[in-house]
Copies of this chain bind each other. A is one copy, B any other.
Amino acid sequence: MPIESREIRLTSRPQGEPSLDNFSFATVEVRDPNVGEVLVRNVCLSVDPYMRGRMNDAKSYVPPFQIGQPLEGGAIGRVIASQDEKLPLGTYVQSMYGWREAFVAPTANLQIVDTTVAPASAYLGILGVTGLTAWVGLNHIARLKIGETIFVSGGAGAVGNAACQLARIRGCKVIASAGSEEKVSFLREELKVGYAFNYRDGDLLEHLKQAAPDGIHVYFDNTGGPQLEAALSALRNYGRIAMCGGIAGYNTPVPGPRNLMLVIGKRLRVEGYIVSDHFRELPAFLEEAVPALKSGKLINRETVAEGLDAAPAAFLDLFHSGARNIGKMIVKLSD
């Protein structure tokens, strides 16, 4: 029997910073599943900074969102009607059908998640694409070695906090920045980061010099902008930068680093990546992350917004550095 589902659509493309006006709500009827399909009710969904890029009408590594269409994004849901025995009723599945309450999809588009290991929402955070993003950046891009010193900008954010934790677990010295005192406290007290600072307080390079007088080996970049410039100055010879995100410039362009030529004299390697190129690494990542989460070495910190109505504001909040989200921002829809 068809059910109703509310969904969020992109009404207009943001110019600069997005606002609530760019979004609208609609109610649609979701049909029954055909053979090989299931009907899923979303339990929680993910809002991520990269989605800002998809709101522009520009060629990028993922196609732009279409005006008038429901937005897409990571979500965890529960199967409530099934026409495929591989996914029985009650199965929790991960999909890209976010920003909506329910949907019908072929089972091939869905991955089962094991909620006996961790709560469903963890598969959007520390055990999901977010955690994998951090893990790939450290292992495959920066090639972080045991005992090295790493600086993570946006360290209290979704990917940032995973990067801080994974680096610390492997015995690295971790320096991390964030945009509020609450986040800095989280970095110090919950993540046990070696040196945490508010990037808006004091001189960036002075912070890095104080934290690592001999320089840093790796910079995990979630921000771009002035923090990237300071990191270039703080990097040691043969240092590496994993370029993961540039939230400082997502809404408004920021100037490039004036000291980029240090890449030559210091023989730096600066490398960008997109996690979807590395999805095949998910099992290897989970092999490390699941036991660490179970043993408590790794924590899944999230900030929860309640209900679909809260999703646009939760998304907008990601771009305010002093704002509330610590760890992964989750929008909770149902149990």
Shortest Cβ distance from residue A283 to the other chain B in the assembled complex, whole angstroms: 22
Q: How far is the CA of A228 from the CA of B260 in the complex (A)?
A: 11
Q: For the complex, is A268 an interface residue (Cβ under 8 Å from B)? A: yes
Q: How far is the CA of A304 from the CA of B261 in the complex (A)?
A: 29
Q: For the complex, is A147 an interface residue (Cβ under 8 Å from B)? A: no
A189-225 near B? 1/0 per residue, CB < 8 Å: 0000000000000000000000000000000000010
Q: Do the beta carbons of B277 and A261 come within 8 Å of each other?
A: no
- What are the residues of chain B within 8 A of A256 when measuring CB–CB? 229, 255-260
Q: For the complex, is A184 an interface residue (Cβ under 8 Å from B)? A: no
- What are the residues of chain B within 8 A of A264 when measuring CB–CB? 243-246, 272-274
A241-269 near B? 1/0 per residue, CB < 8 Å: 00111100100011111111111111111
Shortest Cβ distance from residue A15 to the other chain B in the assembled complex, whole angstroms: 18
- Assembly stoichiometry (copies): 2
Q: Do the beta carbons of A258 and B261 come within 8 Å of each other?
A: no
Q: For the complex, is A60 an interface residue (Cβ under 8 Å from B)? A: yes
Q: Which among B262, B268, B271 is the interface contact of A263 at CB below 8 angstroms?
A: B271
Shortest Cβ distance from residue A16 to the other chain B in the assembled complex, whole angstroms: 15
Q: How far is the CA of A265 from the CA of B63 in the complex (A)?
A: 12
Query: Number of A residues contacting the other chain (C-beta, 8 Å)?
Result: 35
Q: Which among B224, B254, B265, B268 is the interface contact of A60 at CB below 8 angstroms?
A: B265
Q: Nearest B residue to A256 by beta-carbon distance?
A: B256
Known: A255-B255, A260-B257. A272 touches B266 (CB 8 A): yes
Q: Do the beta carbons of A269 and B267 come within 8 Å of each other?
A: no
Q: Do the beta carbons of A267 and B263 come within 8 Å of each other?
A: no
Q: Nearest B residue to A246 by beta-carbon distance?
A: B261
Shortest Cβ distance from residue A242 to the other chain B in the assembled complex, whole angstroms: 10
Q: For the complex, is A53 an interface residue (Cβ under 8 Å from B)? A: yes
9 contacts between A and B (CB under 8 A): A61-B266, A224-B260, A228-B260, A246-B261, A254-B258, A255-B256, A267-B273, A269-B269, A270-B271
Other A-B contacts than A257-B260, A268-B271, 14 sampled, CB-CB below 8 A, are: A229-B256, A243-B264, A244-B264, A246-B261, A249-B261, A253-B258, A255-B255, A255-B258, A256-B256, A263-B271, A264-B274, A265-B274, A267-B273, A269-B271
Give the top 5 A-B pairs by smallest Cβ distance, nearest first.
A256-B256, A263-B272, A264-B272, A246-B261, A270-B270
